[in-house]
Amino acid sequence: MLPSLSAEIREQVPLKDYTSYKIGGPARYFCEPHSIAQLKDALYFAEEHTLPVYILGCGTNVLVSDSGVNGLVIRVAADFAYLSFQDGVVQVGSGLLLDHLVTALAEEGLGGFEVLAGIPGSVGGGIFMNAGAYGVTLGDFVQESTVMDFSGIIRRLPHAEHNFSYRHSIFQEKDLIVLETLLKVEARPRSELLERIAATKEKRRRHPRLPSCGSTFRNPPGTYAGKVIEELGLKGTRIGQAQISPDHANFIVNLGGATAADVYALIRLVRKEAAARGITLVPEVRLWGEFPESEPC
């Protein structure tokens, strides 16, 4: 364990314990800050030691290399999970679970994005990826966010500067951390909202239950990634202990003991077969660490 001012920096922390895939080697350094001050301290530690910084929420959209990551992983979690309401505007901390947000709003008769119920991950992660379903995205409701850059400078980011598009935001382009966000929500009957949430979660219960990152690929224009993969005849294909789910072709699941190399081999196989038919499949999952012939993520 290394001290970095007020932030506790741990060494060689297995990241498989912090990802939905249950896969991944260790982080060279790991920190879970409990305050803005500790977050700044962690960033200062990374700058002082010339370390790349990785921001982790719930780890639901990350595939960590078997060799881990040679940098500082900062996990923004429980201490950044809060929620308040005022005049149709919601102030929410980036560490709050997205599903908890949707349900808590519905209980207050507020909503608009019930179709996001059941999506795993944090609000910060949802903003990073502009999480969405059935034509609705979290970014549609973001008014502004409070962000910190890797130098520790805090500022407000208006909606227009989030650069939201399909599964994309400015946070994939620049070194910025979401601290909290303001969401514009709609007043609706509580019973109606809760019914919509229940219906959405019922659909999600059909998704594979084995460890995965959810959807592996973004949907190409005019079709669905799962449909493409199924038509390629790859549904159920297995490499090592990783498998393209027989239940949903856009899920690559960990059968138990899968390595990141197993999952990545399936990703490459799917992309190669799709490309042979003129279809480009872009991974939705983020790759952390070293992968053979991988592009930086």
Q: Which residues are catalytic?
A: 167, 215, 284
d(CA 294, CA 260): 13
Contact 258, 238 (CB under 8 A): no
Beta-carbon contacts of 59 under 8 Å, excluding residues fewer than 6 positions away, are 15, 18, 19, 20, 21
Beta-carbon contacts of 213 under 8 Å, excluding residues fewer than 6 positions away, are 19, 20, 21, 60, 61, 62, 63, 252, 284, 285
Instruction: Decide: helix, strand or coil at residue 57.
Output: coil
Q: Which residue, 288, 265, 255, 250, is CA-closest to 57?
A: 288
Contact 31, 72 (CB under 8 A): yes
d(CA 272, CA 281): 9
Beta-carbon count within 10 A of 31 CB:
27
Contact 53, 43 (CB under 8 A): yes
Residue with tokens 């027989």: 246
